[in-house]
Amino acid sequence: GAVVSQHPSRVICKSGTSVKIECRSLDFQATTMFWYRQFPKQSLMLMATSNEGSKATYEQGVEKDKFLINHASLTLSTLTVTSAHPEDSSFYICSASDSGRVYEQYFGPGTRLTVT
């Protein structure tokens, strides 16, 4: 149980375009979802936290107009990187928690974004 999927696993896009990454909880209702960013050989940095049906809370330094997060249902959150640039190239990982086990986070497999 507690499986989180991400789609796509890899994406290459051209500079200036937008990319959407989906995060789904497959067998539980995710009341809260988290989006992380990981640069090569570095730790995970929390970008934002989203609760179903409400606006995401962004961490300091994260541009909310560039990284659009939508958590429209209890099983789906999306991260849209708008007007992507090469410096946005990174590994993006989502996680989810449910109301029954709020102290746990279940992580997705990650999405490798490359902006050319």
Partner 1 sequence: AQSVAQPEDQVNVAEGNPLTVKCTYSVSGNPYLFWYVQYPNRGLQFLLKYITGDNLVKGSYGFEAEFNKSQTSFHLKKPSALVSDSALYFCAVRDWDYGQNFVFGPGTRLSVLP
List interacting residues with partner 1 (CB under 8 A): 6, 32, 34, 41-44, 46, 49, 91, 93, 95, 97, 102-110, 112
Amino acid at 101: R
Tokens of 39: 């640069």
Nearer to partner 1, 34 or 67 (CB): 34
Which of 71, 83, 64 shows the shortest CA–CA distance to 19? 83
Query: Any idea how long the chain is?
Result: 116
CB of 66 vs partner 1, minimal distance in Å: 21
CB of 95 vs partner 1, minimal distance in Å: 8
Nearer to partner 1, 18 or 29 (CB): 29
Whole-number Å distance between alpha carbons of 86 and 33:
26
Which of 32, 18, 22, 24 shows the shortest CA–CA distance to 92? 22
Nearer to partner 1, 32 or 80 (CB): 32
3-state helix, strand, coil in the chain (%, to 5): 5, 50, 45
Nearer to partner 1, 13 or 44 (CB): 44
